[in-house]
């Protein structure tokens, strides 16, 4: 662990997970329907002063399990805000949360309650690092995510741009085997690059989309954890290699069937 990080305490949320901001953007097709869902949920509370709908850790949401789950949280600090929704305009809504785990749980919770035809997640901005405070300081994570996400220097990953990059790689080769090998090598090299501190990725929750997103978030979280612990050269490539190395080898003792 580095000297600086040895001196710092990891900032965590009251539910136990590291503070790691994320902002999910919804494309809204029917704001009235969305508001109707919020109004019916006992775990949602509207604050006129901030024009936000707070998602609270109570009622329908209290079954969600965190490291510090509902029954372990002191009564005097309940209900805990897990995140909040706000409308940029009638067609764009954002959900802001203080950890990747809260984001995953929010996606699962609202996917069954918000019809995607009324509001559908389309993109996500996230912070790929942890935060610390000195032992003699009271941890004070930022109260506004604007300093993270309302910036001009955010790395935006476009599926269309990646597709063009891969096509350019493929076009340098003739055979299918050469193209596949070149694309594999290209993606492997990209995985060796450190994650940007703040990035935007496209989101699609249809079919296996949620599972893929959850896996991606967990992998990004692990890289941030490794960096926090001083392993600053750790990348997604290293994570994949570790995962492959830990997989059991089922080839031993197997014989070809005749």
Averages of pLDDT over each 10 residues, the chain, 258 residues:
61 94 97 97 97 97 93 93 97 97 97 93 96 83 84 86 80 84 79 92 91 94 95 91 79 46
3-class DSSP state for residue 49? coil
3-class DSSP state for residue 119? strand
For residue 77, the model assigns a pLDDT of 92
Per DSSP bridges, beta strands 155-156 and 198-202 are: parallel
Residue 115 is classified by DSSP as -
Where are the chain's structural domains? 3-27+93-135+159-244
For residue 8, the model assigns a pLDDT of 86
Angle at the Cα of 87 from the Cα atoms of 70 and 122, rounded to 5 degrees: 80
Rounded Cα distance, 258 and 252, in Å = 18
Q: Which residues contact 16 (CB under 8 A, 6 or more apart)?
A: 66, 67, 68
- Closest Cα partner for 166 from 176, 179, 157? 179
For the stretch 112-162, pLDDT in tens is: 999 999 999 999 999 999 999 888 887 777 667 999 999 999 999 877 776
For residue 191, the model assigns a pLDDT of 84
Rounded Cα distance, 158 and 210, in Å = 18
Q: Which residues contact 82 (CB under 8 A, 6 or more apart)?
A: 15, 55, 56, 57, 61, 64, 97, 102, 105, 106
Distance of alpha carbon 16 from its chain centroid, rounded?
16
Q: Report which secondary-structure segment, H or E, holds 228.
A: helix 209-228
């Amino acid at each position: 662990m580095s000297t600086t990080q040895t001196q710092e305490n990891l900032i965590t949320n009251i539910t136990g997970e590291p503070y790691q901001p994320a902002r999910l953007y919804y494309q809204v097709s029917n704001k009235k329907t969305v508001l109707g869902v919020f109004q019916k949920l006992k775990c949602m509370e509207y604050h006129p002063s901030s024009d936000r709908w707070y998602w609270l850790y109570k009622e329908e949401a209290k079954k969600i399990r965190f490291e510090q789950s509902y029954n372990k949280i002191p009564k005097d600090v309940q209900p805990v805000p897990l995140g909040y929704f706000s409308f940029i305009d009638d067609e764009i809504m954002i959900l802001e949360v203080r950890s990747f785990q809260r984001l995953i749980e929010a996606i699962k919770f609202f996917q069954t309650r918000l019809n995607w035809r009324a509001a559908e997640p389309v993109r996500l901005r996230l912070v790929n690092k942890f935060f610390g405070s000195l032992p003699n300081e009271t941890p004070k994570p930022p109260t506004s995510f604007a300093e993270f996400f309302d910036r001009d220097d955010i790395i935006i990953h476009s599926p269309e741009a990646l597709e063009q990059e891969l096509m350019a790689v493929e076009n340098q080769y003739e055979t299918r085997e050469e193209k596949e090998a070149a694309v594999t090598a290209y993606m492997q090299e990209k995985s060796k690059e450190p994650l940007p501190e703040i990035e935007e990725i496209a989101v699609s929750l249809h079919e296996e989309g949620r599972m893929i997103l959850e896996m991606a978030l967990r992998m990004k979280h692990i890289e941030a954890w490794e960096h926090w612990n001083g392993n600053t050269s750790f990348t997604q490539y290293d994570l994949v290699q570790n995962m492959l190395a830990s997989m059991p080898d089922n080839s031993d003792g197997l014989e070809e069937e005749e």
